[in-house]
Amino acid sequence: MSGPEPLEPANAADPSVEVQLAIYEDARDFAGIFARSWEAAYRGLLPDAYINERNAARREQFERTLSDENRDVYALRIGGANVGAMKLAPPADGDTDPADREIYYLYVHPDSFGRGAGTAVIRYAAEKARAEGAERISVWALKGNERALRFYRNRGFAPDGRSKTADRGGVAAESVRLILTL
């Protein structure tokens, strides 16, 4: 059984969206994309000091991640320029099928919101996961991040009733899990 069709075309405003396996040279761009995206998504939901601390470590984080043999991190490009990043891998949650996939993160630079990059990468993730035998893709989104929750719901993801809370700079931040049935 397949999930609902996405409500928007993959490349709604820009047909030049490309999804490619990320390389080490993408680390600097990814650090900037994550910093701007975190600021846009989480200001007012998480403490500013926490956001700033996490953003300060981004480049080193991506240099480590992309220096290994990367199989899970993808670059979203428009016109050859990095505008986002996604990690798609087997799920970390013990209550899901290990054959399924989880989107560990999907961030798009705020200047590229609405240009089709996010939708294109969801379609790419669904095609890749399906080809690898997955039946579902899961993603966790911070409760209160209405833009992200709406984005995933509009692309066929639905909450499955699971939530988790983690300390994020002294704030108990609750995330909800959404599932896309392929």
Residues of the chain falling short of pLDDT 70: 1-15
What CATH number was assigned to the domain covering residues 17-181? 3.40.630.30
Name the one residue in this structure whose structure tokens are 């798009």. 108
Chain segment 15-43, per-residue pLDDT in tens: 688 999 999 999 999 999 999 999 999 99
- Distant-in-sequence, close-in-space partners of 97: CB < 8 Å, separation ≥ 6: 91, 134, 135, 136
Supply 47's token pair: 């403490």
pTM of the complete model:
0.88
